[in-house]
Amino acid sequence: MSVKGHYGRADWPLPSSSWIDKVLFLGTGTSGQVPAIHCVTKPDFGNCAACKDATLNPTGKNRRGCTSAAVVGRHPQDTQDSTILIDCGKTFYSNAVVHFPRNGLRAIRAVLLTHAHADAILGLDDLRAWTMGGAIQRQVDIYLTQECMTVVEGMFPYLVDRSKSTGGGDVPTLRWNIISKDEPFVITSSEGCREIQVQPLPVLHGYVGRTSPFWCLGFRIDSFSYISDCHEIPSSTLDLMSGSQAIVMDALKMDRHLSHFSFSQALSFFASFSPPPALGLLTDFTHRIEHYATQELVDTWRNGMLAAQVNGQVVVESLPVNGNKAGSRGSNKDRASMGEGGGQRWWTDVWDEQENEFNMTLRLKHVYDPVDKESIRAISHYIPQVKLSWDGLVVHFCSKR
């Protein structure tokens, strides 16, 4: 089983899906992107390994645009694939020009917007390249909340009301579909393609005026769950993610942030989410995350967490598939005793997340020898392989059709 694609890895698990064929990562960085201007304008790149590599190796894994992904699939009765774009930010077009033709993509069936920040919506105007003169398609459907729509209308009034366009009046043809953060919705059928059900995954992404919570959406499509921007996942949303074969999780940087998961929080999610997905993926990295060194830290962390169980250094009680011993993931009141994935924090004798955040690293309390696959089969809580994503990564799914 393998992950294929331009930069694929043969040793990764292969998630399964009844609809998805592949997921293409169009961007895996923050709104600031990588490299950062304040690093590349210093003679020594500001001692920033990621920015140095991104500059000297512009097609490498440290070069990052704004976080975005394209989910590609079809129903058994469909006559063609559908491409669903998640977010359309500042670097969407420049990355699409590279990665769409490389992966045989052309039309966009729908755009799902997670929230109204610049890295998610500032590329909407570039959709004109798809619709002007019917070059590729007549229109693009956009799915977004009313809160997001209000910001888009203020930022791009001519995209919502074509009578407000100036100049030659050449603007993209977009059809706006308002969704609720709390209700599943359907991407309407089109020629040769049946409708597609999408489940919003509401998460907290910072605050409005540092008092009221700012809601952001992740999305679940079939067996794939995607959360790119969050600092907390409500227990009700965790339940909606149950059974996912592949999960993408926000992991901004090593230390704690007000509106994003740290690496420790993201890994806490995968260590405590049950049942675990076949594959965990991380995204939305700052320029202080160097791809290769960080992936090595994550792999060492996972091996140690599994080895500690094999060696009997922790006792992990079995969890039902929908959460903790009580049969649920617990209320938000007792989250302090739980991991970010809703299960128990069984690793306290092995791993101190807060200390890792303070020291801006990933390190367990002990060093462990590598464990073999046979030993892992006997542990109480399996942790999936967790991989850093990169711009251009293609994750293929095993078809259940």
First to last CA, the chain: 17
Is 257 a residue whose pLDDT tops 60?
Answer: yes
- Rg of the Cα atoms in the chain: 21
Q: At a CB cut-off of 8 Å and minimum separation 6, what does 80 contact?
A: 74, 192, 193
> Would you say residue 197 has pLDDT above 70?
yes
The predicted structure's pLDDT at residue 330: 54
6-45 confidence digits (pLDDT tens): 444 678 999 999 999 999 999 999 999 999 999 999 988 9
pLDDT(210) > 80: no
Q: What's the whole-model pTM score?
A: 0.93
| pLDDT beyond 80 at 366 | yes
Q: What angle do CA 214, 153, 36 make, to 5 degrees?
A: 60
Residue 257 · residue 223 · CB < 8 Å? no
Q: Which of 7-11, 187-191, 330-334 has the highest mean pLDDT?
A: 187-191
Say what the pLDDT of residue 364 is: 98
User: What pLDDT shows up at residue 230?
Assistant: 97
> In the prediction, which pLDDT does 380 show?
87
Is 256 a residue whose pLDDT tops 90?
yes
Residue ranges per structural domain of the chain: 16-307+381-399
Q: How confident is the model at residue 329 (pLDDT cuts 50, 70, 90)?
A: low
Residue 258: burial class (beta carbons within 10 Å; 0-12, 13-18, 19+): exposed
pLDDT of 355 > 60? The answer is yes
pLDDT tens, residue by residue, 383-400: 999 999 999 999 999 988
Give pLDDT, residue 293: 98
What are residue 190's DSSP bridge partners? 193
Structure confidence at residue 324 (pLDDT): 43
Take residue 204 and report the two structure tokens written for it: 């907290």
Contact between residue 68 and residue 124 where contact means Cβ atoms under 8 Å apart: no
Give the tens place of pLDDT for each residue, 226-244: 999 999 999 999 999 999 9
Q: Quick check: 188 and 176 in contact, CB under 8 A?
A: no
CATH H superfamily, domain 16-307+381-399: Ribonuclease Z/Hydroxyacylglutathione hydrolase-like (3.60.15.10)
**Tokens for 356?**
């890792």
The answer on pLDDT for 352 being more than 50 is yes
CB within 8 Å of 314: residues ≥ 6 apart: 308, 346, 347, 349, 350
Residues 109-155: tens digit of each pLDDT: 999 999 999 999 999 999 999 999 999 999 999 999 999 999 999 99
Closest CA to 348 of 364, 335, 332, 360: 364
Cα–Cα distance between 24 and 5 in angstroms, integer?
Answer: 9
pLDDT of 92 over the 50 cut: yes
Q: What's the pLDDT score for residue 373? A: 87
CB 91 within 8 A of CB 62: no
pLDDT tens digit sequence for 55-83: 999 999 999 999 999 999 999 999 999 99
Q: What is the mean pLDDT of residues 90-112?
A: 98
**Cβ 303 vs Cβ 368: under 8 Å:** yes
- Mean pLDDT over 82-88 rounds to 98
Does residue 1 register a pLDDT over 80? no
Residue 84's pLDDT is what? 98
- List helix spans (H) across 219-363: 235-241, 263-272, 291-310, 353-359
Looking at every residue in the chain, the average pLDDT score rounds to 92
pLDDT of residue 101: 98
**What pLDDT is attached to residue 331?**
53
Helix ranges restricted to H, 88-133: 92-102, 118-121, 128-131
CA neighbor of 83 nearest in space, from 60, 56, 62, 101: 101
